[in-house]
Amino acid sequence: MKKIAVLGLAFALALSAAGLAGCGQNQQTGGEPAEPETPALSGTITIQGSDTMVNLATAWAEKFMDENPEVEVTVQGGGSGTGIAALINGTVDFANASREMKEEEIAEAESKGINPVEHKVAIDGIAVIVNAANPVEALTMEQLGKIFRGEITNWKEVGGPDKPIVLLSRDSSSGTYEYFKEEVVGKDKEYAKTAKLLPSSQAIVDEVKANEAGIGYVGLGYISDDVKVVAIDGVKASVETAKDGTYPIARYLYMYSNGEVDGLLKAYLDWVLGPEGQALVADEGFVPLQ
């Protein structure tokens, strides 16, 4: 009886082992273990800020949603300052910015329980543009600063026609406005009072295209054949010169979050910084991080 019991137990164990082995096999792949399915991403992401980045951010959002149908990504422009204010007020997940956050903005955020974390997502060069009919091909940084401070007021002073210079600038909520002020106009200087402040980079392009005496500045992604890019200190703004550091007015583009991201927000940021996201950076005329 004991022998029969032992044999019965051995047979049962063998059947059990066979059953377990069968459960761990993928019938369609000839016995290979089945890989667990990755849960589909779902939820919403809200982004607001830099006008320079709005086309790029929209391209990111649309591509990511194509790949993740259960995710909704909303993008708004309005300028870096607007996006940062929204982050401070807790109304967005990410603030897009074409400048670093200011110390006073960080202090205000922390006073409201917000912990701003900076993420570099691309590189941009600020192109100086003039009307296609303007014969001026190049300016020095010193000349450019004097022009936007109102110290040089006629194109003939820099080798152009005898016409008053029409200054076109972004508005003060723009990160590009702030960056250009620090790097070109001067940290302790001011834009000329005659400068026309415009609400978007595209508005500057349109105005320069229509005005032979106009001069403005825009991110690389807004350069078009309708306007002329002026060389600064002998170097023209381009993806190549921004990347190799030879162009003097280049900067990082940022996304700011409240604390370190996780879950859906981390998945999105990782995608932006990954091969697909950085390929879109190049497609939109900016400079990938690598």
Same topology for domains 44-123+252-283 and 124-250, yes or no? yes
The single-letter DSSP state of residue 34 is: P
Sorted by where each begins, the domain ranges of the chain are: 44-123+252-283, 124-250
Does the pLDDT value for residue 27 go beyond 50? no
Q: Are 140 and 128 in contact (CB under 8 A)?
A: no
pLDDT at 39: 78
CATH number at 44-123+252-283: 3.40.190.10
> Cβ neighbours of residue 109 under 8 Å, at least 6 residues apart?
87, 88, 101, 115, 116
In order of 18, 101, 126, 223, the CA distances from 253 in angstroms are: 58, 11, 12, 17
Q: Are 148 and 186 in contact (CB under 8 A)?
A: no
Q: Which two tokens stand for residue 172?
A: 């003060």
Does the pLDDT value for residue 138 go beyond 70? yes
Residue at 51: amino acid letter = D
Does the pLDDT value for residue 234 go beyond 90? yes
pLDDT at 71: 98
Task: Give me the architecture of the 124-250 domain, per CATH.
Answer: 3-Layer(aba) Sandwich (3.40)
For the chain, give the mean pLDDT.
Answer: 90
> Cβ neighbours of residue 97 under 8 Å, at least 6 residues apart?
49, 50, 53, 80, 83, 84, 175, 253, 254, 255, 256
Q: What is the pLDDT of residues 57-99, one digit of tens each?
A: 999 999 999 999 999 999 999 999 999 999 999 999 999 999 9
pLDDT at 254: 98
